[in-house]
Amino acid sequence: MSKLFTPISFRGLTLKNRVIVAPMCQYSARHGLANDWHFVHLGRFALGGFGLVIVEATAVTPEGRITYADMGLWEDAQIEPLKRIVEFLHAHGSAAGIQLAHAGRKASSTIPWRGAFNETEAEKKALAFESWTPVAPSTERHMASFPLPLALDHAGMARIRDGWIAATKRSLAAGFDMIELHSAHGYLLNQFLSPIANRRDDTYGGSLENRMRFPLEVAAAVRKAWPEDKPLFARISVTDWIEGGNTVEDNVEYAKRLKEIGYDLIHCSSSGFDGARIPVGPLYQVPLAEAVRKGADVATAAVGLITTAQEAEHIIALGQADVVALARQALDDPNWPLHAMRELESGDVYAAWPEQAGYAVRNKDRALKK
């Protein structure tokens, strides 16, 4: 059996393989509610054989959405449509995870494929358009095109932490197997962590210890609200890729502290601030997952331009990470794990397909003498 298709366990959860779908915002929700788009988008990954599907950045408070069309879990009505998705993922052999997030000063942004706030009045109504003033550690915008945020006081921070706790309980009610804490990509928790965005002069700013304080308080509150037998992942930006920003060493320390609190895996991404110089290319973030795995002695997920079965197999076989996460490659090929099995596994790989399709694809391949 390949390493990639060897099951792996985190607390009481066993994934059937080590290929996971990374969270991907769809900018397709109204009032934070999941709908049929999310059901089909996520459901097809379960049919495609992924061991774990992580639902997109889901806002813990309304002002924490990146855009007005983000998903949310700030009220009970948002549980039911997610529950339907979780049940489908489970019925088709995938574990179900959700990324809980707050965008901080990057909130109230534009929908990426629009590139600007160019919604017509009719569209605004149909899309439930909203814009608002974001909150952040300090009164500094992300970029010139972003709104100026209000700086959070301690009461505001406590309200957001409580939002994370409530969303954690709602995730449990929806049936999720794991939660991923979003503390990467220049969003709120990353803004506290990084000197690029954190200019505070209270106990939450200045030294690394102080900058880690709020993210770790939130992380601990989520751990306390989530059952002991269920795992937690945290997504971090392992480096800011900016002179004067956080380094790999800073984030190895952060990963150690997350592990101490009870986080089971660190999902190793990078960057999120304006001015980052990112050496983008195949597997460009894999060394970051390896550095955190060795430096913090914690399980990691590697992500970022991992596209082939052989690459993914090597990452696991070489001990660079414990699981691999795919985003754009999963959009490109939602059946990626089933196709990777054909390359890496022997025996009847068609048995891993949904029964409605496996026999037919087997017949097709036989007819073509593959």
Ligand X SMILES: Cc1cc2nc3c(=O)[nH]c(=O)nc-3n(C[C@H](O)[C@H](O)[C@H](O)COP(=O)(O)O)c2cc1C
Which residue, 224 or 328, is less far from ligand X as judged by CB? 328
Q: Is 151 in the site for ligand X (CB under 6 A)?
A: no
Work out whether 235 is an interface residue with ligand X (CB under 6 A).
Answer: yes
* Nearer to ligand X among residue 24 and residue 29 (C-beta): 24
From the list 27, 68, 187, 204, the catalytic residue is: 187
> Does residue 266 interact with ligand X by CB under 6 A?
no
Taking CB under 6 A as the rule, does residue 18 contact ligand X? no
Size of the residue set binding ligand X (CB under 6 A) = 19
Token pair, residue 245, equals: 């920003």
Instruction: Give yes or no for residue 304 binding ligand X (CB under 6 A).
Output: yes
Nearest distance in Å: CB 269, ligand X: 5
Task: Rule CB under 6 A: say whether 24 interacts with ligand X.
Answer: yes
Q: Does 189 bind ligand X (CB under 6 A)?
A: no
- Bridge partners (DSSP) listed for residue 268: 236, 302
Query: Minimum Å distance from CB 55 to ligand X?
Result: 9
Residue 20 CB, shortest distance to ligand X, in Å, is: 10
Contact flag: residue 299 with ligand X (CB under 6 A): no
| Footprint (CB under 6 A) of ligand X, residues 64-83 | none
**Is 68 among the residues known to form the active site?**
no
Q: Three-state SS across the chain?
A: CCCCCCCEEECCEEECCCEEECCCCCCCCECCECCHHHHHHHHHHHHCCCCEEEEEEEECCHHHCCCCCCEECCCHHHHHHHHHHHHHHHHCCCEEEEEEECCHHHCCCCCCCCCCCCCCHHHHHHHCCCCCCCEECCCCCCCCCCCCCEECCHHHHHHHHHHHHHHHHHHHHHCCCEEEEEECCCCHHHHHHCCCCCCCCCCCCCCHHHHHHHHHHHHHHHHHHCCCCCCEEEEEECCCCCCCCCCHHHHHHHHHHHHHHCCCEEEEECCCCCCCCCCCCCCCCHHHHHHHHHHHCCEEEEECCCCCHHHHHHHHHCCCCCEEEECHHHHHCCCHHHHHHHHHCCCCHHHHCCHHHHHHHHHHHHHCCC
Instruction: Count CB atoms within 10 A of the CB of residue 20.
Output: 29
270 binds ligand X (CB under 6 A): no
Rule CB under 6 A: choose which of 266, 316, 326, 344 binds ligand X. 326
Kindly state the smallest distance separating residue 179's Cβ from ligand X, in Å. Answer: 13
Give the binding range for ligand X (CB under 6 A) out of 20-28, 169-177, 211-219, 256-264.
20-28
Euclidean distance between CA atoms 99 and 228, whole angstroms: 18
Q: Which one of 271, 320, 329, 335 is in contact with ligand X (CB under 6 A)? A: 329
Query: Using the rule CB under 6 A, which residue among 328, 332, 360, 364 binds ligand X?
Result: 328
| Residue 185 in contact with ligand X, rule: CB under 6 A | yes
Q: If binding is defined by CB under 6 A, does position 23 make contact with ligand X?
A: yes
Taking CB atoms, the residue at the shortest distance from ligand X is 327
Q: Counting contacts by CB under 6 A, is residue 22 touching ligand X?
A: yes
Give me the active site residues, please.
187
Query: Which residues of this chain interact with ligand X, rule CB under 6 A?
Result: 22-25, 56-57, 99, 182, 184-185, 235, 269, 303-305, 326-329
